């Protein structure tokens, strides 16, 4: 499915939840209803799938979410390696659990880019960067997707 096909599943006036799925955390971001701007929301520290889904379902209900976009950690060659397969498996489970479609967006360099911005522009300490990196990476991923949507 490409961006145009996925765009047909979006509902006018609803938002999209961006996810940066890691082994220990899930960074969460949300779009505005006009699908123009992504904002960091929260970092979920993973405990169990059920607990993680309870929190994500809360965001879906309270923020009028109609779809999910998850970062896909492709290899430098652009192929899906083991980490991408694991991420896709978890993402598919999340999609099913919250009852929303999911689109996977190439996340290569997202964490590196976000950390560079945090160092160079925000001058954040390592401790502050660690707290914000996952949700900021989710926003970076979601913003890339939003920018790619045909207007």
Alpha-carbon distances, residue 84 vs 19, 34, 108, 141 (angstroms)? 14, 29, 11, 15
Mean pLDDT of 115-126: 53
Q: Which domains can be identified in the chain, with CATH numbers? A: 3-148 (3.30.420.140)
Over the stretch 36-84, which tens digit does the pLDDT of each residue have? 999 999 999 999 999 999 999 999 999 999 999 999 998 888 889 999 9
Q: What is the DSSP letter of 47?
A: S
Q: Tell me if the pTM is above 0.75.
A: yes
């Amino acid at each position: 499915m490409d961006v145009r096909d996925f765009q047909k599943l979006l509902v006018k006036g609803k938002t999209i939840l961006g996810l940066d799925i890691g082994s220990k955390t899930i960074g969460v971001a949300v779009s505005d209803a006009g699908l123009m701007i992504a904002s960091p929301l929260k970092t979920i520290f993973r405990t169990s799938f059920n607990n993680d889904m309870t929190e994500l379902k809360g965001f879906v209900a309270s923020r009028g979410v109609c779809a999910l976009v998850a970062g896909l950690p492709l290899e430098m060659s652009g192929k899906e390696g083991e980490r991408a397969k694991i991420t896709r498996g978890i993402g598919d489970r999340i999609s099913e659990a919250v009852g929303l479609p999911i689109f996977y967006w190439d996340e290569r360099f997202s964490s590196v880019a976000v950390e560079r911005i945090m160092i160079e522009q925000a001058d954040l300490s390592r401790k502050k960067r660690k707290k914000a990196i996952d949700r900021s990476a989710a926003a970076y991923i979601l913003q890339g997707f939003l920018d790619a949507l045909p207007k």
